[in-house]
Amino acid sequence: MRALVTGGSAGLGQALCDALLADGFQVVNLDCDPPKVISEAGYLYCDLSSREDVDKALDALTAQAGFDLVIFNAGISATGKFEDISTASHARIIAVNAEAPMVLCAALMKFGKINHGGNIGFVSSLSHFTGYPGAASYAASKDALAVYARAVRKTWQRKFNIKVTAIFPGPLKTDHAARHSPEGADAEKRMTPDEAALLILRDIKKGRAHSILGGAAKKLLFWGKLRLNR
């Protein structure tokens, strides 16, 4: 079995790679940074904010055997007042979090590189349901990914028996979360990447449309839905 994980060099992506390797998968990690720890996952360089890099990565990926599981995990953010964040930063967030996974996924499907009966996971965010003050571009980009997953899910399952899961993690115990979480946020209440990875893979294997991580996240999702329906 073969798996592809974007952003697999640190945080949740690294935990996903480790869990997949432990489960017997051959894993390809697509990232702009080399892995922070020694890993048996194959590493393929790609700056997802660069369309040239994305196209080069696709040339390499489509020359390989197909994947049984693909998880579009890579994500970046910028926090602060919307008007104080540079236009270039907003554009890079949209490119990495939304455009790149859509382009990669569309091409892999076009060239038959996601095997029939396989699975695709899109790592969105709880901001899809609750909003994310101070990180509007991040929230918008992750919202786009959730909508994309919903749009393709039924068609791809019917035509190719490929199941699509939208993943909604809250803040985890990662360096990324520490940099971009609101001031005063309690990091001790956050789930570890290893815990999150196991829950995500469980839900993907079960073919669930959504993966909501932990009881606290589900409560936040419930209240977020109430607010959205007002």
Instruction: Name the band, by pLDDT with cuts 50, 70 and 90, for residue 9.
Output: very high
Could you tell me the residue range of the domain that residue 50 belongs to? 2-228
- How is the beta sheet containing 114-123 ordered, strand by strand? 42-45, 26-31, 2-6, 67-72, 114-123, 163-168, 210-212
Contact 39, 17 (CB under 8 A): yes
The whole-angstrom separation of Cα 7 and Cα 183 is: 25
Predicted confidence (pLDDT) per residue in 120-137, tens digit: 999 998 877 776 666 788
CATH number for 143: 3.40.50.720
Considering the entire predicted model, what is its pTM? Answer: 0.87
- CB-count exposure of residue 52 (10 Å: 0-12, 13-18, 19+): exposed
Predicted confidence (pLDDT) per residue in 10-58, tens digit: 999 999 999 999 999 999 999 999 998 888 999 999 999 999 999 999 9
Q: Domain tally for the chain?
A: 1
Confidence check: pLDDT of 225 > 80? no
Confidence check: pLDDT of 217 > 90? no
Mean pLDDT, rounded, for 89-97: 93
Contact 75, 96 (CB under 8 A): yes
